[in-house]
Structure 1
Amino acid sequence: MTWSPYYRGDGVPRDVTLHRPPPWREFPRRPLATVFQPPPGLTDAVNAALSLRRPLLITGAPGSGKSTVVDSVAAELKLGPALRWHITSRSTLLESLYRYDVLGRIHARQLGQPAHTDDIAPFIQLGPLGTALLPADRPRALLIDEIDKSDLDLPSDLLDALERGEFEIPELARHEHPVVAVREWGGSATHPIERGMVRCTEFPVIVMTSNGERDFPAPFLRRCIRYTMPLPTRDMLHRVVRAHLDLAVPGSGPLADLVDDFLQRLRDGENLAIDQLLNAVFMLSGDQPPQDGQREHLVAMLLRELSRA
């Protein structure tokens, strides 16, 4: 990258050509699984979860790579694209299993489409967890992201579905046809569902992430394999920079000092994310990086602690 003042704030219109963005901001997004660097102990935790058919609960700071784990596992084991369920305080178990578009059916009826009004199947779609629980020869990979942001009851509500590996869609259990094709999550593909029951034949590879903002009930925790992302080491940060930017951090110099300062701030308890370091390295390691006071200003801006506004 070459540092360039695209915007000058002088109000003068000008033609500019933006240089290439950092690799993680190129669109369409490239898979991050190929550059993911698992910290010590993570591969053992993943393999334990795979062997025991248990969800893997990963706790760590934002930006520590937790949500990339599922992509790495899915890519390496050839499980296909990972399904994703991003949790908010309003998330419910039902929405993760299936969704019934009642308003869409009413709208179709108002438009005079009789072919759709008597059949609710076109208005039902499986959610990410419901799709992951479909019977298949190979398991699907599912990310349940930031589960610590959920309602207090959601982790307990998940237990039954994860223990039994099945659920019922009552609207289809009463359907006139015993087998109904229902759309899967994230696409137009459909899957036949018999008598409204979805039963998995291969338990999905489930990775749940938590920023550590709350505790979980013991019955939920004992059904998970738990892993906490450790503080990175200097060698690990060097490997991350090399993997993402194809750039070797020298043993000394401004770039090495930047990495060491970042690591020391983490050890001092500051709330920083590795992607902040990658942003700073990308900005400051080009052919014509910013100099002197401008460089110091950019470092302070890009590596600002996350707990501050």
Structure 2
Amino acid sequence: MARPLRFRHAPGRWTEDRVVGQIYRDLDRNLGATRRRPWFKQPDRYDGERFEMDNGDVALFLWNDDEAYWLGNTETPEALWRTEKYSFEAVPDDVSTWATRELTAQLHEESPWLEPYPHLSWFFLPVFLSKDGRETTREFFDDHAAGFPDATREEALEFYELFLRTRVLDEWREVMAGKLGTSEYLDHTRMTAAMGEFNVGHLLVEAGYDIEPEIEVSTGHAIDYRAGSGGDAVLVEVTRPTPTGDRRAGTPVAAVRDTASTKSEGQLEEHGGGVVLFVDCSSFPDDEWQSVLAEQPEVHHRPAVVFRLRPSGRVEGYTKGSVPLDLPI
């Protein structure tokens, strides 16, 4: 499975002959390629190339006498195999901005339903146009409402657009967007679990907390969030059970218990306490959620928050133990 889109940096002198010989001809020989002018003006200090492959792949290339930058969702030419990779945030701003404009325009041409959601388009761009995941990640939002049952595509997109527009996760864009995966096969369970972290992020931000994801702890694990307010901080871990129609568990209550047990008896047990477990039941349709809410089952860990979020922002749930967070549940 390929990773989200990243730049390759190739120091050294590049010329027209070298670009044609080592980049274009390599691509054309392996895939069939057309060399085109970029859709947008490249940064002044570079020459710019856009390579479009016969199979739908695309690659961008900036070059001058000192260096080159490559970004593509296709096979990497052999001349660039040993080059270092960098995120969008780690390359010069004008290089990143130009490439983002090029790829966002392509994304919106291919999937015009994403155009009304500019920050979501930007945030997930490294996976929406990744080598293997460019179809499945978009399909997850388009056909599956990003994991919300009984919701429209537009409702889900608007919800995540509004949350991402707060920019609280911009600094961690690559790792958070990458949680969706870049597989050519749609993994609905993995993708909904990834969006569970965004759901919890939304709840914490709405409650007035500053959040930081991917907190390294002494066990070698990464806890999903640190939520802070007024100098105090709480560690938060997220799990998301799948509805009974998608798993062997016979009832929604069993699904909640089983999923929470896996998390609490593994990573959280090794950590030894001090973490609030959030059990995101947002994948459950109304009837399944109502049975969970009525019984309020234990989840093998305290403190814990069990909740269901709708794209309207409505949230319901219950807590177990003394939760050191002020939440609307």
TM-score class normalised by the smaller sequence: under 0.3
Report which structure shows greater RCO (CA 8 Å, sep ≥6): 1
Report the structure, 1 or 2, having the larger strand content: 2
TM-score w.r.t. structure 2 length? 0.25
